[in-house]
Amino acid sequence: MKNDEQITSSPEFSPLAFGDDFAPLPEYKAAGTTEVDFSGLLGEPLKLHEDLTSGCGGQLWPAGMVLAKHMLRYHRDRLQDARILELGAGGGVVGLTVARGCASLQHPLYLTDMVEMELLMQHNISLNGLDDRVRARVLNWGEPLSQEIIRLKPDIILAADCVYFEPAFPLLMQTLQDLLALVPTATVFFCFKKRRRADMQFLKAARKAFTVTEIEDENRPTFSRVGLFLYTFTQKQ
């Protein structure tokens, strides 16, 4: 471990710990490694290295924590045969949590983001000993899907805090449409925090393109109070 790294134990996550004016660019904090176990839902804590050097995706964000905990609590026993891909993974908290918590996955799980995040994704995969089960790949929204992703045919797509930069909304929408066209039976699990009025315009566009369903979660009364939303997107019938 590098001398400048710090390992901290994360308390039980509460979105109320984050201010309602959660800004798109976080206050810089020194690179370090956080451990999370989602209130004991993970038997062995997940280690996440956080580093903002390559962009704001390098730290933990509340929507990622909400979606990761939801997948553990409600879906961990249903994902054995799933072909899972995470969009805008950053450090990979959602995908890595699923890989750690669902030990019987039959297919490699893919973390994807811009090239600037590739080394951090790979670092966190190795940090948790998941190199044989998780792959880090570059996927730029709006660009054609790679042949590797087309061969994967992902049927579970994870996306947390991907709504933060308005000019990227059409690109994200294009990638979601491409993925659901590739596998019309796929489900997108989508969690985001409303920070500005434009964020809800993305949701309005999503409702036109997909069947959008708000997900039941026992913590929804808590996280919805601070503008966190959890949905599934599926292909319109």
Binding-site residues: 61, 88-90, 113, 141, 160
Residue whose C-alpha is closest to residue 162's, from 128, 127, 117: 117
Phi, psi of 50 (to 5 degrees): -115, 130
Bridge partners (DSSP) of residue 113 are 138
Q: Residues at the annotated binding site for S-adenosyl-L-methionine?
A: 61, 88-90, 113, 141, 160
> How many Cβ atoms from other residues are within 10 Å of residue 180's Cβ?
22
Beta strands in the chain (DSSP E): 7-9, 32-36, 46-50, 84-87, 109-113, 134-138, 156-160, 187-193, 210-214, 228-235
In contact, 60 and 47? CB cutoff 8 Å? no
